[in-house]
Amino acid sequence: MNETILPPVPGGSDPRVNRVTLGHPWRWLAKGWQDIRSAPVYSLRYGAGIVVISALIVLLTVLGHLTFLVPFLTAGFFLMAPILAIGLYQMSAHLERGESPRHCQALEAVRRNQGQLGVATGFLFITMQLWILASVFLFIMLFHDPFPTWKNFIPVVVLSGQYTALLIVITLVGAFFAVCAFCISAITIPMLIDRQVDGFTAMRTSVRAVSLNWAPMLLWAALLVLIGGAGLMTFYVGLFVAVPLVGHGTWHAYRDLVARD
């Protein structure tokens, strides 16, 4: 696979990290699609569950007259996506070993390293909360009119041209949180269900994998955003396929990025 294995961190016990090429992200998607084809019922049913949950959250937000939070929650979806796809990683692990997928994949995955998965999930949740709080604070400080409704949010905030500064600042802040979240979670959750390591070791390994392979991982992040964004733009229906595709693909990204000692 044209990978270069790097040594462990001096004085530590962190797993070794491989160097990958710009061709690998495309291979991860191809392998993810193959996993969907190998277990379509399990994979697509998982995607359907994500669609239903996403739609319910948006519905509750609209009913609660908090529609201005929808864009921030959408961004939060990308931040929490690594943990939402945990069952898909377990499916790929079974398929990789030539085993049939089982029911309750997410529960099976959680039980493998429950405490440390809780640590990683806590970090992602805190990151998402900080992003939402920062966004709401910026919105309150820079948006002087009453909060827009769902119907006029895009015309008032995005298209009117009156809140360009608000959009720029929120975009920059969101990009900062997105980069942080991606670095600490790119391969953390798959690693925790595959190996008995602690959450901090997994997150350090994820940061090393991203920093040492910044170009391929930048491409991978862009592909994740494009595929996930396409799913969201179809009123969440596209997540039916998008989530399984990137979830299975992330498992294969982990397998190529972390050396199999």
Report pLDDT digits (tens) over 231-251: 888 888 899 999 999 999 999
List C-alpha distances in Å: 85 to 139, 183, 191, 232: 30, 17, 13, 16
Tell me, what's the pLDDT at 7? 43
Give the residues across from 4 on adjacent strands.
19
Question: Model confidence at 144, in pLDDT bands (50, 70, 90)?
Answer: low
Domain range for 220: 14-257
Tell me, what's the pLDDT at 10? 43
Count of residues making up the chain: 261
Distance of CA 61 to the CA centre of its chain: 22
Tell me, what's the pLDDT at 148? 61
Q: What is the pLDDT of residues 87-120, one digit of tens each?
A: 999 999 999 999 888 766 888 888 888 899 999 9
Tell me, what's the pLDDT at 5? 44
pTM of the shown model: 0.84
Q: Is residue 7 part of a domain?
A: no
Is pLDDT of 76 > 90? no
Tell me, what's the pLDDT at 254? 98
The mean pLDDT value for 183-208 works out to 95
Give 47's contacts (C-beta < 8 A, 6+ positions apart).
239, 240, 241, 242, 243, 244
Q: Is residue 25 part of a domain?
A: yes
Q: Is residue 3 part of a domain?
A: no
Is pLDDT of 222 > 60? yes
Q: Is residue 38 part of a domain?
A: yes
Q: What is the pLDDT of residues 163-194, one digit of tens each?
A: 677 778 878 888 888 899 999 999 999 999 99
CA 206/CA 155 separation, integer angstroms: 40
Q: Is residue 9 part of a domain?
A: no
- Looking at the 3D structure of the chain, how many domains does it have? 1
DSSP conformational letter for 155:
I
Tell me, what's the pLDDT at 257? 97
Q: Is residue 210 part of a domain?
A: yes
Give the residues across from 162 on adjacent strands.
none
Q: Is residue 1 part of a domain?
A: no
Question: Model confidence at 57, in pLDDT bands (50, 70, 90)?
Answer: confident
Q: Is residue 4 part of a domain?
A: no
> pLDDT higher for 17 or 145?
17
